[in-house]
Amino acid sequence: MKTIGVIGGMSWESTLEYYRIMNETVKRKMGGSHSAKMLVYSFDFDEVERLQHEGNWDELSEMMINAAHRLEKAGADFLVIATNTMHKLVDNMIQRITIPILHIVDVVGEEIVELGLKKVGLLGTKFTMEDGFYSNRLRENFGVEVFVPTNVERDVVHSVIYDELVKGIIKESSKKKFVEIVKNLELRGIQGIILGCTEIPLLINQRDVDIPVFDTTKLHAIAAVEFALNDD
């Protein structure tokens, strides 16, 4: 089993889910008392959130590279970034590290293609929904067209993520807002919805909507275990 290096704490609420899913997946696949071999570097998310909203991606890039180096030196065989938004910095990171990064968008893209879908909606932070790194990779590498909510709806999604979900606050009123946003995207022709922030599955899941839901946290964590157990 390869050792998984997890860059987490963005937020710890979703990193906890990664840890749980990875260990449950190893147990299911290997049986007995097996659990995942992993190293976790966990940020103080308050620092990360501040820099994100200041637009200081250069400093964030250096922080991520430093975290990657620490995990690499500690013995990680590959990296998992336990957040969608910070995949914005992957291109910078891979130039400075020697171990691979399991990209969350590629994991999601493979799942979308497997279901034969061509048009999907994307919920996430405004950085994820608006900066293009996510939708461009899906379009260019998988031929998937990505739709995002309206400006007002993007503000709602972003606010719920940072003001509630990263703090472990789950509100029924916010769930209703998210479900309504998904329904509005359905009217625009989407065939599935990406929960493109690793905290969103804490709020809504497949039971709440009629179209296929792509839970990025679960998909990424399971893919990490499969990669760790692969002999190649």
69-123 pLDDT per residue, tens: 999 999 999 999 999 999 999 999 999 999 999 999 999 999 999 999 999 999 9
Q: Report the alpha-carbon distance of residue 165 to residue 201 in Å, rounded.
A: 10
pLDDT of 9: 95
Q: Hey, what are 201's tokens?
A: 């599955």
Q: Report the alpha-carbon distance of residue 26 to residue 229 in Å, rounded.
A: 9
In the predicted model, is pLDDT for residue 231 greater than 90? no
Rounded to the nearest 10 degrees, how much is the dihedral formed by the CA atoms of 152, 163, 222, 119?
Answer: 0
Beta strands, E only, the chain: 4-8, 38-42, 78-81, 119-123, 145-147, 192-195, 213-215
Positions annotated as catalytic residues are 83, 197
In order of their start, the domains of the chain are 4-103+219-229 (3.40.50.1860), 105-215 (3.40.50.1860)
Nearest residue to 228 via CA among 11, 35, 7, 41: 35
Q: Report the alpha-carbon distance of residue 177 to residue 160 in Å, rounded.
A: 10
Question: Which residue's entry shows tokens 């399991």?
Answer: 102
